[in-house]
Chains A and B, each alone.
Chain A
Amino acid sequence: MTLFSSIPRALKEALESRNGGASRRDFLKTSGLIVVSFGVTASDAGSLVLATGAEGVEQQGTGPYPDPDFRQLDSWIVIHRDNTATFYVGKTDCGQGTGTAFRQMMADELDIGYDSTSVVMGSTDVTPDQGGSGGSDAIQTDGWPMRRVAAEARRILLALAADRFGVAVDLLSVNEAVVSMTSDRSRKVTYAELIGGQRFDVNLRGRTVNETMGVATVKPVDALRIVGQSPMRFDIPPKVDGSLVWAVDVTLPGMVHARNIKPPVAGAKLRTVDESSVENLPGFIQVVRKGNYLAVVCDREEQAITAARRLKTDWEKPEVAPFPTSDKLFSYMRSVAPMSKFEPEAVGDPEAALAEATTVLKADYDVPFQGHTAFGPAHALADPSNGQMTIYSNDMKAYGMRTGIAEFLEMPRDQVRVVWMEGPQAYGRTAADDAGFEAAFLAKEIGRPVRLQWMRDEETAWDTKGTAFTFSLRGGLDSQGQLVALEYNAQAADYNHVGYNEVPTVLISQLMGTRLAKPNNGRAATPSEMYVIPNRREATQVVSLPRVWETPLRTGNLRDPNGPQVTFASESFIDELAAAGNVDPVAFRLGLLTGTTEDDSGFKRARSIAVIRAAADAYGWDSRPSPKTRRTGTVVSGRGIAYAFRSQTVVAEIAEVEVNRDTGHVWVKRLVCAHDCGLVINPEGLRRTIECGMLHSLSRTLHEEVQFDTEKVTSVDWRSHPSLLHSDAPAVIDVVLVNGDPNPGRSDLPPYGAGETVCKPLIAAVANAIFDATGVRLRRIPFRKERVLAELKAAV
């Protein structure tokens, strides 16, 4: 078994270019591509990395690092002399196996065996800019140019073979990178014999990278052979045996270590720094200060940690408290005037319908700030040698970081590159952005490679946050129990939401005093489902905390931004309406969905119906209204469902819970997810993505809450900011991949973004299950046992 078939090539290239050797860029300039004939094994690659640190191998080359041209086939695909291929794509893999999926899709179009391919991702000078990761669009959007360029490479190779044999292309067959005469399979030629080690020199078309195409068209779905299979993820073996070189592992000669010193109070001004408090510490190199940004640099990592703790500083507190306490967050949010209001979406006349309704229900829901809270704190290594700047980072948007840092440091863009490497993922706009800018700034200041890492308390307190929400909903049922009106009102504490690698909003830039001319408006969001409700109004607004700059409560996109919060409110309320009408929660939802295949909305509803039914079937759903009428014993159980539609992906989730009525402890014993994202590239990979996405939302359901006093975040580690544990894991998770296409066998079924949609319904499914079990409706997460117990007692 070749455990690491795809690792060495990518790694070798990163090392070669770092060491000033022949880089991919260099070999693309030259003909021959001899340098890509790698024979490196995983262990060789590993020792190379160690050697760079230990033996003082040279640093990066002299640059520059221009963008690979996405209109050149050679920027995407290289055929090697050993009849293997490497694909270069501008995406990153947050751990869902998208790299494996890219190989599957491109290998299928190129007609080469999966095992004969490798993929290089997300390094700005060697892969075309596809933006990195985000929005679950890797397959849905970025997979298309990948497939088209691979199909184009196949077309070129067939044309070369036709020339060689002196026949028409349609007399040829191709299988596993070998072209043969269909009539005489002994006449054959390999891709390597046709072009191995040489450039294609083929221009592609397209105004943007997403439009990139050649002449060839992609295969119909029924001709795909590798797509739909589940090859094991190539990145897993080196993650399991310790051989993978992560972004935290890169070492460079002369590299030093830095740690930040954050303001003790949000918005505090740094008055003085007493360098004498640390200058005699072993390994001390320098204190770097600009505005309120402060860091200390030392020879060794533990020395930098000690120096950062011992550095004496004097800060001036801001005059106005930066925020209310977390206990008072929701009353604060409900009492202040909004900063941004968005035009409500409305159909029918909800006011009139509510006035005429037989039953009117009203409920408020609250969601606190929740962090990304990466398992490994934010980090980056920046190398300023030779007048260039290379940043080694796990940031999922390497390209944006490169552009942002060039602007921040006022360096030409082609003198900056970001090498994406694996790292702890936290799904969205994380502090990895901030750490990249900080490392680059420090490296430029002191003229040496700087490795910066945040500490645990820094990460948990200062990482960007998922938005806090308050919701108010009203709904009306007619005398038949039909939902005739729904009013949704959301307030998001999202003012001055930070962008990805946006220079004026990265933390170091804010601490140095840079400000956007006008803070970002932020946004709230509306429910994401396909229900037909005749009278409906959805209003959203954004409120601000007193402090919007230099604050640890800055909000940034967190996995399926706003989806889990909004769906918690909307799908809990649907459940409340079903219970008020004494209708089974599945039946109630199906009653709001009437599907057709004739128009887009009807088609979406038809797929929604199929997915909700699939979840109910897989669970063995017994049709009855919630809550259960008989409850005995200390531990009571119940089930709840919730559903969501995002982009073109449909998800229905069912949670079965056990609630301990003496302690308030909730265990989600079983989860069922029915999922339709269209064409599935790697079913086993998708199953795990779904499982883990649901459990991420389960962590937000049960545990996660950012807590703060009026000056600072007080939840700063895994005790004060708990996260899901092994003991919380469900005993059973069933995933049903539906592909609920009402036109089965369609050969053009596209793939849709699969991952983030699963984060939406989980919180509501659990809340609905707790209601089913206990008869008590929980409207504020997280459902920590103290809160659950208090609600159970209050309801008695």
Chain B
Amino acid sequence: MSKVTLHVNGAEETVDVSPVTPLLYVLRNDLGLRGPKFGCGLGQCGACTVLIDGVATRSCVTRVTRAQGKIITLEGLAKDGELHPVQQAWIDEQVPQCGFCQNGQIMTAKALLDQNPNPTDAEIREGMSGALCRCMTYYRVQAAIKRVAGSMASGGQAVEQEGVE
């Protein structure tokens, strides 16, 4: 075991774990975060996605000691009690079915829109391709992303680097 300090959702957290522990288990089991989920443990499905310095990262295949940037999880997207525009679009579009994959969908979409605030349909398909959903909510996920991009194009609220100080 060794002491590792993480910067998660704006707070410093120190945990005492084996240095090879995947970040996912530390976030879930030591820090009590419920956004990132275990889906495959192989980096194939996106369930465990978090942002590290703004980059969508698979926490199930990232050693905790390598997670030295600023980590944002699903819980950290809202700001001052206001949901992030991506989360609000997810509600307005009524995207989820069972919802278990939606952490991966939302975090991947957030990173995509940060990089490319007005993606084309093809860029959305490509950019989201690593986020799997077994209820197959893809059509509504894409509609929600277009909703966010559309609100930006029409002068609505910009998608910010929320929580990444």
Contact = CB atoms under 8 A, between A and B. Distances in A.
Interface of A: 46, 49-50, 53-54, 94-96, 232-233, 235-237, 239-246, 248-249, 251, 282, 300-302, 305, 373-377, 422-426, 453, 455-456, 684-685, 688-689, 691-692, 695-696, 698-699, 717-719, 723-731, 733
A237 to B, nearest CB: 6
A282 B1 contact: yes
Given A232-B91, A240-B106, A424-B134, A719 B83 contact: no
Contacts of A233: 94
B100 A235 contact: no
A95 B103 CA distance: 15
Contacts of A232: 91, 94
Sorted nearest first, the 5 A-B pairs with minimum C-beta distance are A95-B98, A695-B136, A239-B99, A95-B97, A242-B35
A245 B99 CA distance: 12
B34 interface: yes
B4 to A, nearest CB: 13
Given A95-B97, A282-B18, A375-B132, 16 more contacts: A232-B94, A236-B95, A236-B96, A240-B99, A244-B34, A301-B25, A301-B28, A375-B39, A376-B37, A423-B98, A688-B94, A691-B136, A691-B139, A692-B97, A696-B135, A719-B44
Contacts, number: 175
B154 interface: no
B80 interface: no
Interface of B: 1, 17-18, 21-22, 25, 28-29, 32-35, 37-42, 44-45, 47, 73-75, 77-78, 83, 87, 90-91, 94-103, 106, 121, 124-126, 128-129, 131-142
5 contacts: A240-B95, A375-B101, A376-B37, A456-B41, A725-B132
A618 B34 CA distance: 42
A388 B73 CA distance: 36
Contacts of A724: 136, 138
A688 B137 CA distance: 8
A239 B41 CA distance: 21
A168 to B, nearest CB: 44
B47 A376 contact: yes
Nearest to A47: B32
A692 B131 CA distance: 16
B91 A240 contact: yes
A684 B94 contact: yes
Contacts of B75: 241-243
Given A232-B94, A685-B94, A375 B100 contact: yes
A376 B37 CA distance: 8
A1 to B, nearest CB: 9
Contacts of A249: 28, 34
Given A241-B75, A726-B124, A731-B121, A248 B97 contact: no
B109 to A, nearest CB: 10
Nearest to B84: A241
Given A282-B18, A423-B98, A723-B134, A241 B38 contact: no
B44 A302 contact: no
A548 B133 CA distance: 31
A100 B145 CA distance: 25
A241 B98 contact: no
A376 B134 CA distance: 9
B144 to A, nearest CB: 10
